[in-house]
Amino acid sequence: MSPLVGWALAAAALAAGWFGYGWPGVALALSVIAFWLLLQFSRTLRVLRSAARSPVGHVASAVMLHAKLHPGMRLTDVIRLTRSLGRQVRDEPDTYAWRDAGGDEVVIVFVDGRCTRWRLHRPSDAP
Protein backbone atom coordinates (compact mmCIF):
# COMPACT_ATOMS: atom_id res chain seq x y z
CA MET A 1 0.00 0.00 0.00
CA SER A 2 1.21 3.48 -0.76
CA PRO A 3 2.14 5.56 2.29
CA LEU A 4 -0.10 8.33 0.98
CA VAL A 5 -3.08 5.98 0.93
CA GLY A 6 -2.25 4.74 4.43
CA TRP A 7 -2.11 8.27 5.84
CA ALA A 8 -5.35 9.15 4.05
CA LEU A 9 -7.10 6.10 5.55
CA ALA A 10 -5.80 6.98 9.03
CA ALA A 11 -7.06 10.57 8.67
CA ALA A 12 -10.42 9.29 7.41
CA ALA A 13 -10.71 6.92 10.39
CA LEU A 14 -9.95 9.76 12.80
CA ALA A 15 -12.47 12.06 11.11
CA ALA A 16 -15.15 9.36 11.04
CA GLY A 17 -14.52 8.59 14.70
CA TRP A 18 -14.78 12.25 15.66
CA PHE A 19 -17.92 12.99 13.67
CA GLY A 20 -19.58 9.70 14.61
CA TYR A 21 -18.78 9.32 18.30
CA GLY A 22 -16.67 12.27 19.46
CA TRP A 23 -13.64 11.58 21.64
CA PRO A 24 -14.47 7.89 22.20
CA GLY A 25 -14.53 7.50 18.40
CA VAL A 26 -11.11 9.15 18.08
CA ALA A 27 -9.77 6.83 20.78
CA LEU A 28 -11.14 3.82 18.90
CA ALA A 29 -9.63 5.06 15.61
CA LEU A 30 -6.24 5.56 17.29
CA SER A 31 -6.45 2.05 18.74
CA VAL A 32 -7.20 0.57 15.32
CA ILE A 33 -4.31 2.52 13.74
CA ALA A 34 -1.89 1.38 16.47
CA PHE A 35 -3.04 -2.23 16.05
CA TRP A 36 -2.49 -2.03 12.26
CA LEU A 37 1.01 -0.63 12.74
CA LEU A 38 1.85 -3.39 15.24
CA LEU A 39 0.66 -6.03 12.75
CA GLN A 40 2.91 -4.58 10.04
CA PHE A 41 5.87 -4.43 12.42
CA SER A 42 5.29 -8.02 13.54
CA ARG A 43 5.10 -9.20 9.93
CA THR A 44 8.39 -7.51 9.08
CA LEU A 45 10.12 -8.97 12.13
CA ARG A 46 8.86 -12.46 11.26
CA VAL A 47 10.37 -12.15 7.76
CA LEU A 48 13.69 -10.90 9.14
CA ARG A 49 13.79 -13.63 11.80
CA SER A 50 13.38 -16.33 9.15
CA ALA A 51 16.06 -14.67 7.00
CA ALA A 52 18.50 -14.55 9.93
CA ARG A 53 18.65 -18.36 9.97
CA SER A 54 20.14 -18.57 6.47
CA PRO A 55 23.49 -17.47 5.05
CA VAL A 56 23.53 -14.03 3.43
CA GLY A 57 22.96 -14.15 -0.32
CA HIS A 58 21.95 -17.83 -0.47
CA VAL A 59 18.83 -19.20 -2.12
CA ALA A 60 17.70 -22.79 -2.69
CA SER A 61 17.19 -22.30 -6.44
CA ALA A 62 18.11 -19.15 -8.33
CA VAL A 63 16.12 -20.28 -11.38
CA MET A 64 12.94 -20.67 -9.32
CA LEU A 65 13.49 -17.28 -7.71
CA HIS A 66 13.96 -15.77 -11.17
CA ALA A 67 10.66 -17.30 -12.28
CA LYS A 68 8.75 -15.92 -9.26
CA LEU A 69 9.94 -12.32 -9.52
CA HIS A 70 7.83 -9.56 -10.98
CA PRO A 71 8.19 -5.78 -11.18
CA GLY A 72 6.98 -3.87 -8.14
CA MET A 73 7.79 -6.52 -5.55
CA ARG A 74 8.98 -5.07 -2.25
CA LEU A 75 12.31 -6.06 -0.75
CA THR A 76 10.50 -7.78 2.13
CA ASP A 77 8.54 -9.89 -0.37
CA VAL A 78 11.78 -11.00 -2.04
CA ILE A 79 13.33 -11.79 1.35
CA ARG A 80 10.26 -13.86 2.19
CA LEU A 81 10.72 -15.81 -1.08
CA THR A 82 14.44 -16.41 -0.58
CA ARG A 83 14.38 -16.83 3.20
CA SER A 84 17.72 -14.99 3.16
CA LEU A 85 19.05 -11.46 3.11
CA GLY A 86 20.66 -10.55 -0.18
CA ARG A 87 24.33 -9.80 -0.66
CA GLN A 88 24.58 -6.09 -1.48
CA VAL A 89 26.24 -5.50 -4.85
CA ARG A 90 25.75 -1.72 -5.27
CA ASP A 91 24.45 1.19 -3.24
CA GLU A 92 22.91 3.33 -5.96
CA PRO A 93 20.56 1.93 -7.08
CA ASP A 94 20.05 -0.68 -4.37
CA THR A 95 21.25 -3.92 -5.94
CA TYR A 96 21.26 -7.28 -4.18
CA ALA A 97 22.29 -10.77 -5.30
CA TRP A 98 21.31 -14.30 -4.29
CA ARG A 99 23.30 -17.37 -5.34
CA ASP A 100 22.38 -21.07 -5.16
CA ALA A 101 24.62 -24.10 -4.60
CA GLY A 102 25.06 -24.66 -8.35
CA GLY A 103 26.53 -21.19 -8.87
CA ASP A 104 23.50 -19.61 -10.53
CA GLU A 105 22.92 -16.06 -9.32
CA VAL A 106 19.99 -13.67 -9.45
CA VAL A 107 20.82 -9.96 -9.24
CA ILE A 108 17.88 -7.70 -8.39
CA VAL A 109 17.76 -3.89 -8.62
CA PHE A 110 15.43 -2.03 -6.23
CA VAL A 111 14.35 1.58 -6.69
CA ASP A 112 12.39 3.13 -3.81
CA GLY A 113 12.21 -0.31 -2.17
CA ARG A 114 10.55 -1.98 -5.15
CA CYS A 115 11.97 -4.43 -7.66
CA THR A 116 12.49 -2.76 -11.02
CA ARG A 117 14.66 -5.25 -12.91
CA TRP A 118 16.57 -8.46 -12.39
CA ARG A 119 18.79 -10.85 -14.28
CA LEU A 120 19.88 -14.45 -13.93
CA HIS A 121 23.58 -15.29 -14.28
CA ARG A 122 24.39 -18.91 -15.00
CA PRO A 123 27.97 -20.20 -14.88
CA SER A 124 29.36 -21.41 -18.17
CA ASP A 125 30.03 -25.14 -18.51
CA ALA A 126 33.39 -24.54 -20.25
CA PRO A 127 36.47 -25.47 -18.18
Structural domain contains residue 108:
yes
Contact status, residue 21 vs residue 13, Cβ threshold 8 Å:
no
Q: How remote is the C-alpha of 96 from its chain's centroid?
A: 13
CA angle 101, 45, 48 (to 5 degrees): 15
Structural domain contains residue 91:
yes
pLDDT, residue 126, reads: 46
Regarding whether 75 and 117 lie in a shared domain, the answer is yes
pLDDT, residue 127, reads: 53
Regarding whether 67 and 24 lie in a shared domain, the answer is no
Structural domain contains residue 39:
yes
Strand partners, 120: 106
Residue 76 is part of a domain; what is its CATH number?
Answer: 3.30.1450.10
User: What share of the chain in percent tops pLDDT 90?
Assistant: 83
pLDDT, residue 125, reads: 60
Structural domain contains residue 101:
yes
Strand partners, 12: none
Structural domain contains residue 126:
no
69-105 pLDDT, tens digit per residue, is 999 999 999 999 999 999 999 988 999 999 999 999 9
* Domains held by the chain: number: 2
3-state secondary structure of 104: coil
Regarding whether 82 and 29 lie in a shared domain, the answer is no
Rounded distance between C-alpha atoms, residue 116 and residue 11, angstroms? 31
- Average of per-residue pLDDT values in the chain: 92
Structural domain contains residue 127:
no
